[in-house]
Structure 1
Amino acid sequence: MGEKLAKGIIAGGMSGIFLGLFLKIIEVITEVKVYVLLLNVDYIPLLKEFSFPEPLEFLLHLIISVIVAAALFSIIKKYQWTQKQIIFRTIFISFLIGVLLYPTTVLSDRTPELTSVSALSFWLLGHLLYGWILTLFFIKKGPSR
């Protein structure tokens, strides 16, 4: 359990930081509110009543990222995925998480419109990159099985 937790903390933390920085840079350059969407908790009943400072919102994002990474690493170990499976499935799952979370944008006036093609594109690209970075922590060195 210790290895899974440690790997989840490192992989989820680093990948989560990358995703946050990527979306923050996109938002600063384009003014498309994808970073706000990343930190948004307006769709969580109890949390939507509060206004959190950005560092705390980012910490919540990192906690979720660590949980996702630890869960994925546990699944990878349990089912002994090959390198190819790790790469494809981790990137696909990360993309799927992005697809499933994007509609929460309708639950807040701070986030982009659901129909914003640019927001959706940046959001999904960010999640694909997040998945790719996770794979760098999960794949073994050497030839794939």
Structure 2
Amino acid sequence: MNKWKLVNIGIISGLFLGGLLFILEKWSSEKVYVLLMNVDYIPVLKEIPLHPVAEFILHLIVSIVLVFVLYYGLSRFKSEKKVLLYIVINTLIGAVLFLTTSFSDRTPELTDGMAFFYWLSAHFIYGWLVGSLIVFVKRNN
């Protein structure tokens, strides 16, 4: 698959995930968007004051890298067109990343069930979107 198509899938999916978590945070007051932008667990980055736009760009870069890793990783097993795998993997990644909430005072408590539900639901949908876009692009090449 064309690398620029994967970049675009990463950007579109990342914009969606960021937008969804932003809306969920505004609607519910659960700090799920703050958690998405949180870099308190990354030694070098936590020392640098980042503008919200820079935080979001970092999020998009992570999304792009993740799309490449998943696509090429699943391609090795001829499974790059299996949307369910993108959903499962991204939901699991979301579950693991939720643990980083314990590294910051700004993010939800580790025991915050609603924040965890919103977070996992958003990553589930993100996984579905990534997988669906990849399948769509591959079918229309």
Same fold, judged at TM 0.5 (above): yes
Q: CA deviation at 1:16?
A: 0.6
Q: In structure 2, what is the Cα distance between the partners aligned to 1:9 and 1:82?
A: 16
CA RMSD between the two structures: 1.6
Q: Equivalents in 1 of 2:74, 2:5: separation in Å?
A: 12
- Give me the TM-score of the superposition, normalised by structure 2: 0.92
Cα distance in 2, alignment partners of residues 122 and 7 from structure 1: 28
Instruction: Give the distance between the partners of 2:67 and 2:60, measured in 1 at CA.
Output: 10
The share of aligned pairs that are identical, in percent, is: 41
Cα distance, 1:122 vs structure 2: 0.2
Distance 1:70 1:82, change over 3 A: closer
How does 1:43-122 map onto structure 2 within 5 Å? Answer: 43-81=41-79, 83=81, 86-122=82-118
Deviation at 1:13, TM superposition (A): 0.7
**Closer/same/farther in 2, CA of residues 81 and 110 from structure 1, 3 Å limit:** same
3-state SS of paired residue (1:109):
coil
Partners of 2:101 and 2:75 in 1: CA distance? 34
Unaligned runs of 5+ in 2: none
- Distance (whole Å) between structure 2 residues aligned to residue 8 and residue 141 of structure 1: 14
**Residues of 2 paired with 1:125 and 1:132: CA distance?**
11
Whole-angstrom distance in 1 between the partners of 2:10 and 2:33:
17
Contact 1:37 1:112 in 2 (8 A): yes
CA distance in 1, matches of 2:107, 2:131: 29
Task: Judge conservation of contact 1:7–1:70 (CA < 8 Å) in 2.
Answer: no
Q: Give the equivalent residue in structure 1 for 2:21.
A: 23
Give the 4+ runs in structure 1 shifted more than 3 A: none
1:96 Cα shift? 0.8
SS at match of 1:79: coil
Quote the offset at 1:7 in angstroms: 2.8
The answer for unaligned runs of 5 or more in structure 1 is none
Cα deviations by residue, 1:60-107 (Å, 9 ceiling, x for unpaired): 000000000011111233322274xx2111100100110110010010
Deviation at 1:28, TM superposition (A): 0.5
Indicate the residue corresponding to 1:34 in structure 2: 32
